[in-house]
C-alpha cells in the first residue's frame, strides 16, 4: 500500500529510526567478541602493571580452556602466566597470598562451579582480611571465569553464583554482558584494591558486540557499581545482568511490536548494586520485572524487590514487582528440560503483560508446570504454594 500522507510517512520513518538504527559511535566501530575483549583487558593491564599476573588451569600453554588468555603466555612468559594443577583450593590460596604480598593476581576458575573447592579462600581469606586487619592488608585479587548455565553440562556445571558471592561483604561482584562490559569492567576489577568476583558467561564468549573507538582504547575503564540502561522505555522496567540481559532485550523487542516499551537495565555490578538507576526507572515506568538465570530463592531478583519494598520507590509501583528466574531445580541434562529450566524471551514477555494488566497471578517458570506457565495463585492447591 502506498503511503501518500506525509505525516504518516514521517511518523513511520521516525519509529523505524528509533527502533532499528543507532546514532551512537558503535555504528561505525569494530565488532569484538566477548572473548577477545577479555583478552584485550588482560593484555593491557599486564602491560600497564608488572604486578598483574594470571594463574589457573590451562591458562598458559593451552591459551586457556576458552582461549581467553590466548597469546599471553608467549608474550609475558612463565612467571606471569602460570599453569596450575587441578587444585582450586591450592591456586586460589596462592592468589590470595600473592595479593597479601602486594601483587595483583587474576585467578581463573575453569568454571565457577569449581570455585566451591576454593570458597574458603574467596570468603574467609580474600573478602574478610581487609576488615580483620583494620585496613592494613588490602587484597587486590580478581577471581574470574565462566558462570551460570552453559549447554549440555548438567547440574554440577550450570549454577549461577551471582547471589552466592554478592551476599558476602568484602567482595565486589561483577557480571558483564557485552564486549564493552567485559573489557571495561575487567580492567576496573584488576585495578581495584578489593577482591573482585568476575562472573563471565560461556555462551557469550563467542558473541561479537560493536565497540566504539573509546571502548577500544587502552585507557577505557568502566566504573564499578554503575548500571547501564541498554534500552529506554516508559511502560515497564526490566532489570537483569549477564546473559539474562540478552533474554530481556529480546523480550523487549518482541513487546515493542505490541506497543509496550520496556526499559532494560543491565546491572553490570551485583555488589555494589546501583539501586539509584533502578529506582529512577521505576519512578518513570511504575512497573518492575527482574530477570535472572539463577534460582529464585534468595536470588538477585529477590534482593532487588526487597530494596524496592524498603524504599520510596515502592510507592511508585502500580502493580506488584515480578521475578523471572531459572527453575527451582538442579539443571537437567536432557536438552528439552534444560530449555525449560532457563528463562526465555516469551517467559519475560508473558510476565510483562501480566504485570501491566495487574492480574493477581503468580508467574511460575518450572518444568513441572510447563514452559512459561502463568497460574492463578488462588487456584493452586495449598501444597503448591510452597513447592
Angle at 243 between CA 128 and CA 169, to 5 degrees: 15
Angle at 212 between CA 13 and CA 243, to 5 degrees: 85
C-alpha cell at 181: 562490559
Highest mean pLDDT out of 2-6, 276-280, 357-361: 276-280
What are the structural domains, with CATH classification, of the chain?
6-216 (3.40.50.970), 228-362 (3.40.50.920)
Averaged pLDDT, 86-108: 98
φ, ψ dihedrals at 356, nearest 5°? -65, -30
pLDDT at 202 over 50: yes
d(Cα 38, Cα 223) in Å, to the nearest integer? Answer: 16
In 3D, which of 220, 224, 248 has the Cα closest to residue 236? 248
C-alpha cell at 193: 584494591
DSSP-derived secondary structure letter, 299: -
Name the strands in the sheet holding 196-200, side by side, starting at the edge strand that comes first in the sequence: 81-83, 52-56, 104-108, 142-146, 196-200, 172-174, 269-271
pLDDT at 162 over 50: yes
C-alpha cell at 266: 543491565
End-to-end CA, the chain: 54
pLDDT at 158 over 60: yes
pLDDT at 373 over 90: no
Q: What is the pTM of this model?
A: 0.86
Angle at 49 between CA 46 and CA 51, to 5 degrees: 90
- Residue keyed to cell 511460575: 364
SS3 state at 365? strand
- Least confident piece of the model among 172-181, 197-206, 330-339: 330-339
Q: Supply the pLDDT for residue 150.
A: 87
Averaged pLDDT, 51-74: 97
Question: Which are the contacts of 263, defined by CB distance < 8 A and separation ≥ 6?
Answer: 229, 231, 232, 233, 234, 236, 237, 238, 281, 284, 285
Distance of CA 365 to the CA centre of its chain: 20
Instruction: Report CA torsion sign: 133, 134, 138, 143.
Output: positive
Q: Which residues are catalytic, by number?
A: 88, 157
- In terms of DSSP bridges, do strands 370-376 and 228-231 run parallel, antiparallel, or are they unpaired? unpaired
In 3D, which of 94, 147, 148 has the Cα closest to residue 122? 94
pLDDT-above-90 percentage for the chain? 81
Instruction: Report CA torsion sign: 251, 257, 261, 263.
Output: positive
What's the pLDDT band for 33 if we cut at 50, 70, 90?
very high
What's the chain's average pLDDT? Answer: 88
pLDDT at 22 over 80: no
pLDDT at 6 over 70: no
What's the pLDDT band for 154 if we cut at 50, 70, 90?
confident
Averaged pLDDT, 209-231: 97
Q: Supply the pLDDT for residue 28.
A: 52
Averaged pLDDT, 10-19: 40
DSSP assignment of 171-228, as one string? -EEE---SHHHHHHHHHHHHH-SS-EEEEE-GGGTT-EEEE-HHHHSTT--PPTT--E
Amino acid at each position: 500500500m502506498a503511503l501518500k500522507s506525509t505525516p504518516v510517512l514521517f511518523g513511520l520513518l521516525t519509529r523505524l529510526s528509533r527502533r532499528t538504527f543507532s546514532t551512537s559511535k558503535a555504528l561505525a566501530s569494530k565488532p569484538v567478541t566477548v572473548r577477545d575483549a577479555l583478552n584485550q583487558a588482560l593484555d593491557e593491564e599486564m602491560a600497564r602493571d608488572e604486578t598483574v599476573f594470571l594463574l589457573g588451569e590451562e591458562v598458559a600453554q593451552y591459551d586457556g580452556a576458552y582461549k581467553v588468555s590466548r597469546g599471553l603466555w608467549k608474550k609475558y612468559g612463565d612467571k606471569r602466566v602460570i599453569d596450575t594443577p587441578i587444585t582450586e583450593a591450592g591456586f586460589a590460596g596462592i592468589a590470595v597470598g600473592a595479593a597479601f604480598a602486594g601483587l595483583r593476581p587474576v585467578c581463573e576458575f575453569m568454571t565457577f562451579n569449581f570455585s566451591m573447592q576454593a570458597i574458603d579462600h574467596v570468603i574467609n581469606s580474600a573478602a574478610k582480611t581487609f576488615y580483620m586487619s583494620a585496613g592494613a592488608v588490602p587484597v587486590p585479587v580478581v577471581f574470574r571465569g565462566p558462570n551460570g548455565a552453559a549447554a549440555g553440562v548438567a547440574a554440577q556445571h550450570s549454577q549461577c553464583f551471582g547471589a552466592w558471592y554478592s551476599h558476602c561483604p568484602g567482595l565486589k561482584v561483577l557480571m558483564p554482558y557485552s564486549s564493552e562490559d567485559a573489557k571495561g569492567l575487567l580492567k576496573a576489577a584488576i585495578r581495584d584494591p578489593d577482591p573482585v568476583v568476575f562472573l563471565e558467561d560461556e555462551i557469550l564468549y563467542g558473541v561479537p558486540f560493536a565497540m566504539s573507538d573509546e571502548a577500544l582504547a587502552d585507557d577505557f575503564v568502566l566504573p564499578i557499581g554503575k548500571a547501564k540502561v541498554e534500552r529506554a522505555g516508559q511502560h515497564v522496567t526490566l532489570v537483569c545482568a549477564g546473559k539474562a540481559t540478552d533474554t530481556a532485550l529480546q523480550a523487549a523487542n518482541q513487546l515493542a511490536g505490541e506497543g509496550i516499551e520496556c526499559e532494560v537495565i543491565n546491572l553490570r555490578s551485583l555488589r555494589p548494586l546501583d539501586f539509584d538507576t533502578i529506582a529512577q526507572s521505576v519512578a518513570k515506568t511504575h512497573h518492575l520485572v527482574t530477570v535472572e538465570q539463577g534460582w529464585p530463592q534468595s536470588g538477585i531478583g529477590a534482593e532487588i524487590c526487597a530494596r524496592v519494598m524498603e524504599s520510596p520507590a515502592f510507592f511508585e509501583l502500580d502493580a506488584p514487582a515480578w521475578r523471572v528466574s531459572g527453575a527451582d531445580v538442579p539443571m537437567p541434562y536432557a536438552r528439552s528440560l534444560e530449555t525449560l529450566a532457563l528463562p526465555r524471551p516469551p517467559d519475560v514477555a508473558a510476565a510483562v503483560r501480566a504485570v501491566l494488566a495487574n492480574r493477581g497471578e503468580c508467574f511460575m517458570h518450572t518444568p513441572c508446570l510447563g514452559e512459561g506457565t502463568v497460574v492463578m495463585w488462588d487456584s493452586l492447591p495449598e501444597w503448591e504454594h510452597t513447592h
